[in-house]
Chain A
Amino acid sequence: MEAKDQKKHRKKNSGPKPDKKKKRHLQDLQLGDEEDTQKRNPKAFAVQSAVRMARSFHRTQDLKTKKHHVPVVDRTPLEPPPIVVVVMGPPKVGKSTLIRCLIRNFTRQKLTEIRGPVTIVSGKKRRLTIIECGCDINMMIDLAKVADLVLMLIDASFGFEMETFEFLNICQVHGFPKIMGVLTHLDSFKYNKQLKKTKKRLKHRFWTEVYPGAKLFYLSGMVHGEYQNQEIHNLGRFITVMKFRPLTWQTSHPYILADRMEDLTKPEDIRMNIKCDRKLSLYGYLRGAHLKNKSHIHMPGVGDFAVSDISFLPDPCALPEQQKKRCLNEKEKLVYAPLSGVGGVLYDKDAVYVDLGGSHGFQGSDETRPTHELVQSLISTHSTIDAKIASSRVTLFSDSKPLGSEDIDNQWLRIPKEEKQMDLKTGRVRRKAIFGGDEDVSGVGDIEDDEEISEGDRLKNSSSDETEEEEDAEMTGKVYMVDKVVKWPRLEEMEENIERDVLAFADSDDDFERSSEDEGEVEEADESSEEEGSSAEGEKAILEPKSIEKGSKPGLLQSNGLIDSMNLEKTMKKVTLAVSDSGHYRTEEAFASEESSSLSTEKKDTENEEVIRKKFPKLSQVVSGQKLWSENSTDETSDIDLLKEEEDYKEENIYSIETSGALKWKEDLSRKAAEAFLRQQQATPNLQKLIYGTVTEDDEEEEEGDTREELGGLFRVTQPTRECKHKAEALDCSKFQLEVPHDWDLEEVMNSIRDCFVTGKWEEDKDAAKILAEDEELYGDFEDLETGDVHKGKSGLDTQIDDVEKELKEEIEPSAEESVKKKHLDKKRKLKELFDAEYDEGENTYFDDLKGEMQKQTQLNRAEFEDQDDEARVQYEGFRPGMYVRIEIENVPCEFVLNFDPHYPIILGGLGNSEGSLGYVQMRLKKHRWYKKILKSRDPIIFSVGWRRFQTIPLYYIEDHNGRQRLLKYTPQHMHCGATFWGPITPQGTGVLAIQFVSGITPDFRIAATGIVLDLDKSIKIVKKLKLTGFPYKIFKNTSFIKGMFNSALEVAKFEGAVVRTVSGIRGQIKKALRAPEGAFRASFEDKLLMSDIVFMRTWYPVSIPAFYNPVTSLLKPVGEKDTWSGMRTTGQLRLTHHIRLKPNKDSLYKLIVRQKKHFNSLYIPKALQKALPFKSKPKTQAKAGKTPRDRLRPAVVREPHERKILALLDALSTVHGHKLKKAKEQQHLHNKEHFILKQKEQEEKLKRQKDLRKKLFRIQGQKERRNQKSSLKGPEEQMK
């Protein structure tokens, strides 16, 4: 019996092994493989039904084409940016735990507190940026726009929550990223069955929202406060292998999910006005499309900004370089989350910051503020420049010891110049934290030492920095983020280097001071060059290789200032060009690499740089900027002496104190730098020059010419050169004007262009004869069928001989061998192409062609810049996605910095060309079916379109059959309608999301409507119906005089010929104005009017849309209140808050309807008619029943007392009897009921018995049958045996 119960082994019927077996079997039978079955048994494969075949064919084709997507040119970069994984869910669902577990899974690191995005390397080719999304709708909207993958956490013990559905809807509107559900809290289920059921229910609901078959992950339970390792591992695997379909908006716009933010505002400015607009630098991976410098971006929650500068940095979380191994080693498992204080080393353009586990604190800035009264008082008085200088300097030193201005002056004299620069750099906002340590080492005298400190020093510096910072942290008792600390002058350092800090104020000083200083420097350089022109050779050698090594054009900066002094006028143009050309990046690089040669000159140069930068707020406006510059420079040269006097920095003193040695190397440097600069100029193609050509130069010259001739410092003689005028006001003509025509009668001139024609000579590879010959070689013999010529290739013998010869040749010259090889390869390739063309062409569909074309384009795009280095590349194509970039933005509201909350995502969304401008946007909108109210026209509402979230006032309309857009007061309940609002122009086809309020918590569904942008316009066509009514005051036959519709004859004149109608439906036309009552007119109708008629005219009145656009600035709200942004309130809300009740029109109020009874007159039938009527219909005139006469009335019965007694008795008896009967009946009923129940029971028992019986019977029957079957199965086996 046991043997019976065991499962039998089932043979595999499919898979590779059975296939092999089958094949072998068939071969044994000599039947060949499966294809031959068709030959063997053609009938089985014959067409049975043409219709069915057609259908099946259609079906397969349909399925095939369904899979097709419109092919797009693949623009994804080779090294893609990290994938944005948004972990979303209602509160307390386990988001942070999941993130922590995922990070631990990938990097083996535990993060204690996670703030902002965390970037990790998850595999050889993939990085992830994980960010948590709370249930603030602002955050949800922003993150849905940048997400590549959404992990949607669902509390299984609770079920779906509104946030989940809201987020799904947001995602649907803003492109649908990949969504993966994760069920948590599964351990709260006690019964397995219940768990299973819940899982299934949730899964199916999830599928209806996302798509059937969407992945839903189950995290079964927690172990020690974390999810189970295996499950997290599996989830991680899913994430790492996931594929993504590009989303339109994301691929067509550059965007950055910033993972780091720095405030670059000058501390001085902040001190002066804490509410001043800030300058920020934001860091993050660039995603989506290419981002160009100076383009416009939108920061959701903050506003629109122009990128003032952008540069790329080395990847802080780079993918592993070699990919030979299967998995990453521990070193390559990087994690980068600066906002959470993770990432160890931070790279800036010019510095490296090492984090020591300190956390982030922007409030710390207040701590460094001076507390001493003297200092305070110094700060408060900023009347003169001197005072300002003093105060600003003193502010840098805090609680230690107050310094008087005399001290400072004394120190000033002792300060070596080089060190000023150092301090300047430390004083500069966040620029150079490195230089803290070696300042003591490099004194005034040992310049040589100073120079030899090269890049290696940087490490040392940074390490010393570290220690300093540590101490700092200890001292202040506050925890600073590293970069922040760097930004703010450190107390300790202050104490150490009081003297060195003296010049730090220069950075925070205003423009004028700096420029004057700058001029002084120019002068200084001049002097030094005069003194010692030749002694520089020695140092040259030291500096030169360094500058070359760095590759970051260190000379550029120096030259900037120094060339001024040497040949100012000539090179001025070049300098400015260089500045604008290389952008800030290069100059900043120079900063970084030149710390060894940190000289006063350089410092000046950097200042110079800044001056230039200030003067050119936009590099794009170089033309105008150059003018400024040139003016400035010419001023410098002409008024040097004047300036010298103006100098109140006592710089002359410094010069005298400084040794000649210092000047010597400085001098040398200048020339060196100049040379390096010139070299640079020659080496790199100057984009600026290429682009702006000669025009800008001319402009400049013109300006110079202008400034040179100055009379008495007041008037200028404008003598624009003729040529310049020509250029600026040239004829706007696209034809090229020929200066020196050639003499085309000369033979040589003619010959020079002969090859440009098809009749001329061709290049080697294109010459028809050559190609023909090659072809011949390839194919050998062929016969021209038309002419009958037989072409013969080389005979076998010949080729053999050739081969021998070739071999010989190859031995002689190896280069020839290569060429032969190449030729051979070419030949092969050609043959392959021919073959491909022959065999593949037939099956190629249009789709394949299209795809191929796109692929070709992709390759072309990739190949275009492949061989260039990034610096040049970004200038052509912009910064490509995948780069880690640093973006500088100016004029950011201070609230953004003051109320910075790293938990909220900072997104920089690039804007397209026209997306910055405002206009009317039309869209198709539908109220969300889960939103409880309908939306009202002219009620402010918050839209999320493109990157933006903003409040605006929409008008809803519906389109009539004739294309008229008719205003609606409210959106339809369940229908699409149009909506138009005034706001930022966004391309057609962009999804739109509407929310009534972003603040407050409501249990209801928050998404009010969804839609799509249909049309953009700068004008609108929405109209509303307007009925003008009038009353006839004089009626002729068909003509009437109407009054009350218009106010003047002029108005009537405008409406002449318009159609009018009465309420009763008589149509008519306006004819002409009448004189008598103002505004009356004559109108003709199709019938005679009544005086009681009302005449009306239907008109359409265009409505205007209020130009109200209010970006939702939720990120500017204080921390913890970021979800409380409220904009303009609706009238309803206002009424509610101010308790204003709407006074309704009395006429429109509902009243109780009182209907009066209607009285009809009696029907009167004329006598003649009565006569004619049949009897049935004749009115019957019956006499009224009279009073019954007295005698007919029955007399009343008066009983005797005896009789009365009898009657009473009878009454009583009958009552008793009745009661008896009733009782008996009740009893009978009860009895019946019991009997019925008994009967029912009996019946049931009987049925049951019968059922059992039947069951038994069937079982026996079945057993019998089975036995029979078994025996029949066994039969043959037994026979076999």
Chain B
Amino acid sequence: MATQTHSLSYAGCNFLRQRLVLSTLSGRPVKIRKIRARDDNPGLRDFEASFIRLLDKITNGSRIEINQTGTTLYYQPGLLYGGSVEHDCSVLRSIGYYLESLLCLAPFMKNPLRIVLRGVTNDQVDPSVDVLRATALPLLKQFGIDGESLELKIVRRGMPPGGGGEVFFSCPVRKFLRPIQLTDPGKIKRIRGMAYSVRVSPQMANRIVDSARSILNKFIPDIYIYTDHVKGINSGKSPGFGLSLVAETTNSTFLSAELASNPQGQGAAVLPEDLGRNCAKLLLEEIYRAWLEESPQSVSRTLVVLSFALDPCWEGEAVSLTRRIQGRLPGTVISPLCV
């Protein structure tokens, strides 16, 4: 038909997720060329393929064309359908990689999304499920997407390289979204955290907590770090431990930092004390950047905000919001948006 919107075209595999997510939300087809075209191992990676498959599962009528080498991807988005879905994520990236995008898409589904994701729950690259649960869900709640069905449950923990974790995420659909004002960050009132240990000594988590507290206590007394030792069937296939910290402000915005131990058989062993301390410092760094440098905060959150800004039914409010946040956005995030 003559009305068929022409596709946007990009080169390179960077921001693949953002591009696909925003394309889905805006309904405009995208064509991505030169995906690792000069690489020794050209084309889409497994985790990206898995992501595209996930998109296919939650949408209806999407058209995905990938050329033989996998260096060119054409994606024509369908309708966001939702429903009950199960997906086995690639173990190359953690579930956070997939979940970040799902958080952007889930509120705009036709049917409430209930999805089970299997794979790696915590790794060193992506934001872990713990962090997303602590930061992104409250943000969704602020938009008016709340209720019992908004849930992110870690059923099993799985560490790289084996994976074996399982996460259940469900998100309701709301007819109207509430506008929010994110102009004043407020002051940090409490710090919460989660120290987990999988298939290692339960003492690890306690050691992490102690070391992290030793640093954070100098700033604020209201700190509580939960320890989560999982064993047996819930502990996935590989051992590991880590810590994620979340600072909450008086205006209920969240800052997070996290660290995980090196995957089994890769890199040197990490002392839990070091990990705790480093993680605490990372959080301080995040705070420093958020307040003093006014630089990007958690990208996943800004992406969520952006996806809301793209929502058609929400135009007026979103305008002011995007403008406010734009100064703080990393250029990387906004580039696919300005289409």
User: Which residues of A are at the interface with B, using a C-beta cutoff of 8 A?
Assistant: 73, 75, 252, 289-290, 296, 298, 303-304, 306, 620-621, 623-624, 690-696, 718, 720, 725, 727-736, 738, 741-742, 744, 750, 752-760, 762, 857, 860-861, 864-865, 876-878, 912-914, 916-919, 984-985, 1016-1019, 1109, 1111
Contact = CB atoms under 8 A, between A and B. Distances in A.
A758 B61 contact: no
Interface in B1-53: 1-6, 8-17, 25-27, 34-36, 38-39, 48
A733 B281 contact: no
B291 A758 contact: no
Contacts of B13: 728-729, 732
A1111 B2 CA distance: 9
Contact of A732 (B16, B290, B291): B16
B27 A914 contact: yes
Contact of B3 (A298, A691, A692, A864): A298
A876 B315 CA distance: 11
Given A693-B331, A734-B298, A744-B215, A75 B1 contact: no
A725 B34 CA distance: 11
B285 interface: yes
A1016 B317 contact: no
B220 A727 contact: no
B126 A735 contact: yes
B100 A734 contact: yes
B85 interface: no
B179 interface: yes
Contacts of B189: 757-758
Given A725-B38, A857-B179, A878-B319, 9 more contacts: A303-B2, A693-B330, A734-B303, A736-B296, A744-B280, A877-B319, A917-B4, A1016-B79, A1017-B60
B332 interface: yes
A733 B9 CA distance: 21
What interface size band does chain B fall in?
Answer: 35 or more
Contact of B332 (A693, A984, A985): A693
Given A734-B126, A741-B281, A1018-B78, A876 B292 contact: no
Interface string B284-326: 1101111110001011100100000010110111011011001
B326 A690 contact: yes
A298 B79 CA distance: 21
A742 B280 CA distance: 12
B127 interface: yes
A574 B100 CA distance: 34
Given A733-B125, A914-B27, A917-B5, A753 B288 contact: yes
B173 to A, nearest CB: 13
Interface of A is mostly: mixed
B280 to A, nearest CB: 8
Q: List 3 tightest A-B contacts by C-beta distance, closest first.
A: A693-B331, A1018-B61, A304-B3
Nearest to B61: A1018
B268 interface: no
A726 to B, nearest CB: 9
Given A729-B12, A1018-B60, A758 B188 contact: yes
B26 A918 contact: no
20 contacts: A303-B2, A620-B8, A620-B339, A621-B8, A691-B338, A729-B35, A732-B16, A732-B17, A736-B296, A738-B285, A744-B284, A750-B284, A757-B220, A759-B219, A878-B319, A913-B27, A913-B310, A1017-B60, A1018-B62, A1111-B2
Contacts of A984: 3
B331 A695 contact: yes
A423 B35 CA distance: 49
A736 B299 contact: yes
A946 B35 CA distance: 39
Contact of A728 (B2, B11, B221, B299): B11
B282 interface: yes
Interface string B179-217: 101000001110000000000000000000000000100
Nearest to A740: B285
B264 interface: no
A626 to B, nearest CB: 12
A961 to B, nearest CB: 22
B335 interface: yes
B285 A303 contact: no
B220 to A, nearest CB: 5
Contact of A692 (B280, B299, B315, B338): B338
Interface in B47-99: 48, 60-62, 78-79, 97
B250 interface: yes
Most buried by A among B4, B48, B219: B219
B189 to A, nearest CB: 5
A288 to B, nearest CB: 11
Contact of A864 (B310, B323, B338): B323
A735 B220 contact: no
A75 B9 contact: no
Contact of A735 (B125, B320, B331): B125
B335 A735 contact: no
Contact of A752 (B288, B299, B338): B288
B1 A1109 contact: yes
A1247 B215 CA distance: 119
B60 A916 contact: no
A758 B251 CA distance: 11
Given A692-B335, A694-B331, A734 B127 contact: yes
A690 B4 CA distance: 31
A690 B323 CA distance: 11
B1 A918 contact: yes
Contacts of A861: 316-317, 319-320
B26 A759 contact: no
B315 A289 contact: yes
B334 interface: yes
B325 to A, nearest CB: 12
A690 B35 CA distance: 25
A758 B250 contact: yes
Contacts of B284: 742, 744, 750, 753
A729 B299 contact: no
Interface in B255-289: 280-282, 284-285, 287-289
A742 B286 CA distance: 11
Nearest to B250: A758
B14 to A, nearest CB: 4
Which of B220, B315, B330: most chain A Cβ within 10 A? B315
B335 A756 contact: no
A742 B285 contact: yes
A876 B61 CA distance: 33
A252 B322 CA distance: 19
Nearest to B289: A736
B49 to A, nearest CB: 13
Given A732-B17, A744-B284, A1018-B60, A693 B316 contact: no
Contact of B287 (A621, A741, A753, A917): A753
A289 B316 CA distance: 9
Contact of B79 (A864, A877, A1017): A1017
B335 A691 contact: yes
A306 B8 CA distance: 13
Given A621-B9, A693-B335, A913 B25 contact: yes
B4 A918 contact: yes
A623 B14 CA distance: 14
A820 to B, nearest CB: 27
Nearest to B60: A1018
Contacts of A734: 100, 126-127, 298-300, 303
Given A252-B313, A1017-B61, A731 B335 contact: no
A985 B79 CA distance: 10
B13 to A, nearest CB: 5
Given A758-B188, A758-B220, A728 B17 contact: no
A848 B288 CA distance: 42
A760 B282 contact: no
A727 B125 contact: no
A252 to B, nearest CB: 7
Contact of A753 (B38, B291, B335): B291
